[in-house]
Structure 1
């Protein structure tokens, strides 16, 4: 299984847990200060 993430996910804070055969993924968003800015010309 492969999951592609966008730039809004804080990769350092992803967690996964298996309980009773159910996989729970937590994919927190980046805070505004962590988000990157791209200059448009």
Structure 2
């Protein structure tokens, strides 16, 4: 099963760097929003 999942992901590999940077950016923004919420509430 894991091999099938990895094979399905192969078409997306050219965009891996972009997707990774996007995920990091989203995680960073999410963490900042959490901090703001904690400060406010």
* Structure in which a larger fraction of residues adopt helix: 2
The TM tier, using the shorter chain, reads under 0.3
* TM-score, length-scaled by structure 1: 0.20
Which structure has the larger Rg? 2
* TM-score, length-scaled by structure 2: 0.20
* Structure in which a larger fraction of residues adopt strand: 1
Q: Which has the higher contact order (CA 8 A, sep 6+)?
A: 1
